[in-house]
Amino acid sequence: MTPSVPTALSRPIEPAPDLPILHRDGMMLVIDKPCGLPVHAGPKGGETLADHLDALRFGLPRAPELAHRLDKDTSGCLVLGRHPKALALLGKLFASGAVGKTYVALTHGAPAQDEGRIDQPLAKRSPQRGWWMQAVPKGTPGAQEAITDYRVLHRAGGFAVLALSPLTGRTHQLRAHLSTLGHPILGDAIYGGASRLPGGPRLHLHSRRVVVPLARNGPPVDVSAPLPPHMCETLAHLDLSPEDVGRAADAFRPDGKT
């Protein structure tokens, strides 16, 4: 997709504490979710995104709600609908695959091909493992179709930087897909990507960009989030520039083509 021309509302706005706002209009917000903040309450309790939503009303009578999800340890662009009509529209756009999504991941090694598609169904590992997923053969009972396009942006010192576009929205899809290929994401304690690099044990997966065709006859809302500090530290160790990585990821269209 060709990036839309930024408008005044696309520029960062005064944020709520620790939640930079990347875009705001009458229908939706896009926030830069930090790594480590869950979007839903878990069995152990603790702070969640829900604790901050009321501060993001900006004059509306109700707090915004999630239009999609990010894992607790995934950072970056997260879309919120500001009222029921907006949530209904955004829900349809995400469900139909109309929203372009680009992620950046640092991995152990990389696929041999510089770009391609991972078409691998996923299913829960077991009822006791909650939402932990595993790759299964097509036709397996309970399996869900899962498709990811990827491009290798850099290879350095046995590690790699990938741009990823999930064409389906399965739980842990990117993490499970890359682990299945033998190239787990750095810092992924569930799928085998432990890291001792400078960025530490945090998950190196970032929602870099969302492209939302909100208006029928206008350009899409096109928003990018800067890479988080822990990923920047690891990139610096690999002699890679976060700005260059961000630009390379933005050149990767959601359909995997230039």
Residues designated catalytic: 71
- Per DSSP bridges, beta strands 75-81 and 205-212 are parallel
- CA distances from residue 228 to 9, 18, 73, 107, 122 in whole angstroms, order as listed: 23, 12, 11, 16, 28
**Alpha carbon distance 132, 122 (integer Å):** 10
As a whole number of angstroms, the distance between CA 199 and CA 209 comes to 21
* 3-state SS class at 150: strand
* Helical residues (DSSP H) of the chain, grouped into ranges: 50-53, 84-96, 173-180, 229-237, 242-250
Interhelix angle 229-237/242-250, nearest 10 degrees: 110
